[in-house]
Structure 1
């Protein structure tokens, strides 16, 4: 209950703080590429329930609906500002809506795409699907795009066992450092 209240208050605060960057990124996307400003991807949330999560669109509209790491050459699908908004994690800002809605939390395992079957099954077997996914998580601050599925699940399982308000705050702090340094982002 306390975590949910903190998520709501934090998301509202961030929406106020990031209102101008949100508008500028939206405008830049609209001016530099065809298609919608937001990309809504089907993700798997708490208890394995699917939901749609928004991100600023960093890829062309004809990009296959798979994890970016599965694309042969993901750079060829980036929009003119796609690389910048991904490296700065600005593409993630619309997920504040998902936090307000209750689909995700600030901290938890990242929500997997509906078609990442191996990852989803490993999570189910370890009980990780029993916690709300997050905007950031223990796996993100320990390697993000450079981790294998098995490594991600190990970090997510550790988060499941260690979760607390102080651990969440520590992960948020590490996330801010990683974003500023643009670490562990492969595309």
Structure 2
């Protein structure tokens, strides 16, 4: 049932959001010269997939978790995208393709070994990663791997249609700030 909602809502989001996506892409060209950011992430069953987001950092920034990146690498426009969570919009494509869900554990990087190990023990890789979830609305990010894995596991065990829509609504209305940057 959740996959059906993921598919329908991501399709609607992409169709309705197309003018915004185009505008942000054009502005992104002027900001960094490369508005989309693609990065291999750990997906369901630990399979790799390419996550797509709007670029918020300078092109030459090292490919590390956000909490390990320097604050100075975030562009002014990137800061706006992060604050409004508009940088996440292109991930609707990942949701439409079935690589992600709207609600699920945020996909980590393969080099985040501590997080990957903690999530593996707790069965987090049994589900699709998501754009938002319990950890995000509670401002728990990848800088605390064990707590994040525990929170992800709790969300997976208690996820219902009601909480699915609650997490989406809370994220859309500004709850949570995303990953910290040093």
Shorter chain as denominator, the TM-score bin is: over 0.9
TM-score by length of 2: 0.92
User: Contact 1:119 / 1:153 at 8 angstroms: preserved in 2?
Assistant: yes
Dislocated runs of 4+, deviation >6 Å: none
Counterpart of 2:27 in structure 1 is 28
Counterpart of 1:51 in structure 2 is 49
Counterpart of 2:18 in structure 1 is 19
For residues 106 and 11 of structure 2, the distance between their equivalents in structure 1, rounded to whole angstroms, comes to 20
| 1:168 aligns with one of 153, 164, 174 | 164
Q: Does residue 161 of structure 2 align to residue 151 of structure 1? A: no
Secondary structure, counterpart of 1:113 in structure 2: coil
Task: State the number of aligned residues.
Answer: 181
Structure 1 unaligned regions, length at least 5: none
User: Contact 1:41 / 1:53 at 8 angstroms: preserved in 2?
Assistant: yes
| 1:67 aligns with one of 65, 77, 95 | 65
* CA deviation vs aligned residue, 1:44-94 (integer Å, no higher than 9, x gap): 0000001100000111111001012112xx222122311111111111100
Q: CA deviation at 1:183?
A: 4.1
For residues 164 and 21 of structure 1, the distance between their equivalents in structure 2, rounded to whole angstroms, comes to 30
| 1:109 aligns with one of 98, 105, 110 | 105
Superposed CA RMSD: 1.7
Query: Relative to 1, partners in 2 of residues 1:176 and 1:147: Cα closer, same or farther, differing over 3 Å?
Result: farther
* CA deviation vs aligned residue, 1:115-162 (integer Å, no higher than 9, x gap): 111111111011111011101111101114486222211211111210
Secondary structure, counterpart of 1:41 in structure 2: strand
For residues 23 and 143 of structure 1, the distance between their equivalents in structure 2, rounded to whole angstroms, comes to 29
For residues 68 and 102 of structure 1, the distance between their equivalents in structure 2, rounded to whole angstroms, comes to 24
